[in-house]
Amino acid sequence: MNYLDFYKLNEEPFSSAPDIKFYYNSAQHSKALVRLMYAVDSMKGLALLIGDIGTGKTTLARRMLDSLPEEEYESALLVIIHSGITADWLLKKIAMQLGIPDPSENKIALLSQLYGRLNELYEQHKKAVVLIDEAQMLKTKEMMEEFRGLLNLEAPDRKLITFVFFGLPEIEENLLLDSPLAQRVALKYRLESFNYESTEAYVKHRLGLAGNKDEIFAPEAIEKIHAYSKGIPRRINIISSNALFEGFLVKAKVIDSKIIDGVVADLGITGEKKETTATADVAEAIEGSFIVESVESSAAPAPAVQEIVQQRQKPSAPPAAPKQVQEPQRPAAVKAKPKKQEDQDEIDSILDKLEKGG
Ligand SMILES: Nc1ncnc2c1ncn2[C@@H]1O[C@H](COP(=O)(O)OP(=O)(O)OP(=O)(O)O)[C@@H](O)[C@H]1O
Ligand SMILES: [Mg+2]
């Protein structure tokens, strides 16, 4: 018997992948999504979603892409995985994602193709929206000027293209490389970590989707998870999944706060069990281990530049939103874009790498 059987779970409830099947529409995510949807609906030009490490930015970006009806939007999600990316390269990728099959190598010609395509989309009453994840990696003045150029393209009543940058708060410093661009930020929202209620509901939501609606974590255990994780979803996942495994080893049907203490001490950087550890120190230790991981992963031979286009997915069941929170308007059905399997495989492997690295 493994721990999934022991806890009557059909699958791993706290996987590290930003799988939107497990999306939980927390009050924090919901507020962010409502604002971002408004920004793209009204074609505001440039919107920013910033948040600390592991707060759920990528999850939100994927969920947002999924929420943009295809009849209304020509949309794409690009993930920047290297800061060495050039402005020309990015421009070309954007052109391809917006449906220009053969983008020109010549910059002027490429810009004219883009302008033509954006106008065409405008005539078709479609909104061109490009979501950019890990946008803090866009770091050059040249890059910022390119975005500004695209944002200057306007129809009489609206911008022709809208970007949403998802990333760490340092995006804001990078934007200042081109202060006119910084001034064009029409909407900025900071994704906060979960409050206690959200952490509790999130843990239960994930366990429920994985097949068990019983009380596996005692209320004091959830309190500890919240305190140690500081409400950051990635930390919640790590602590909870380790707790399930430890709980299984000691055959605890209900996981209590002692198990959480033990797991959290084990997750310290040294890996040694500490006698007593202040919550904040442990949280930092967990954070620290991510930083080390991401440094290691960028040392591996990585493609110079890479992008993904997120394929839309239909969640098998509508996400359970907390009652007090209003879910943004979603279309009844979102058609999946046809996509070659090999592309999808590549996307999956990039996403895996991203997730492991960060
Ligand atoms: N609203 C949510 N619903 C379900 N799972 C979530 C949610 N938010 C975050 N998670 C989970 O938390 C983990 C971290 O999320 P994600 O990768 O989206 O964070 P991030 O802010 O993009 O992190 P990074 O700063 O490293 O890029 C993932 O396992 C993801 O599945
Ligand atoms: Mg991310």
Residue 267 confidence (pLDDT): 86
Binding site membership of 23 for ligand 1 (Cβ less than 6 Å): yes
Half-sphere exposure of 193 (CA within 13 A, CB side): 16
pTM: 0.79
Task: Say whether pLDDT at 115 is over 60.
Answer: yes
Closest residue to atom 25 of ligand 1, CA basis: 53
Give residue 52 CA to ligand 2 midpoint distance, Å. Answer: 10
HEC states along 80-94? CCCCCCCHHHHHHHH
Give residue 184 CA to ligand 2 midpoint distance, Å. Answer: 24
Distances in Å between the Cα of 17 and the Cα atoms of 131, 291, 344 are: 19, 17, 16
Binding site membership of 194 for ligand 1 (Cβ less than 6 Å): no
Task: Say whether pLDDT at 318 is over 90.
Answer: no
Binding site membership of 56 for ligand 1 (Cβ less than 6 Å): yes
Give residue 55 CA to ligand 1 midpoint distance, Å. Answer: 6
Mean pLDDT for all residues in the chain: 80
Binding site membership of 55 for ligand 1 (Cβ less than 6 Å): yes
Residue 284 confidence (pLDDT): 52
Q: Percent of the chain scored above 70 by pLDDT? A: 75
Give residue 58 CA to ligand 2 midpoint distance, Å. Answer: 4
DSSP H or E segment with residue 76: strand 73-79
Residue 213 confidence (pLDDT): 87
Closest residue to atom 13 of ligand 1, CA basis: 234
What pLDDT band is residue 273 in, cutting at 50, 70 and 90?
very low
Residue 34 or residue 287, greater confidence? 34
Give residue 227 CA to ligand 1 midpoint distance, Å. Answer: 18
DSSP H or E segment with residue 49: strand 46-51
Which ligand sits nearest to residue 56's alpha carbon? 1
Give residue 53 CA to ligand 1 midpoint distance, Å. Answer: 9
Residue 18 confidence (pLDDT): 86
Distances in Å between the Cα of 188 and the Cα atoms of 30, 38, 64, 274 are: 15, 12, 15, 40
Residue 331 or residue 234, greater confidence? 234
Closest residue to atom 29 of ligand 1, CA basis: 16
The two three-digit tokens of residue 357, written as one number: 């690295």
Q: Which range is least confidently modeled, 91-100, 155-164, 229-238, 308-317?
A: 308-317
> All domains of the chain, ordered by start, with CATH?
22-192+302-357 (3.40.50.300), 194-298 (1.10.8)
The two three-digit tokens of residue 16, written as one number: 């590290």
Pocket test for ligand 1, best of 26, 59, 198 (most atoms within 8 A of CB): 59
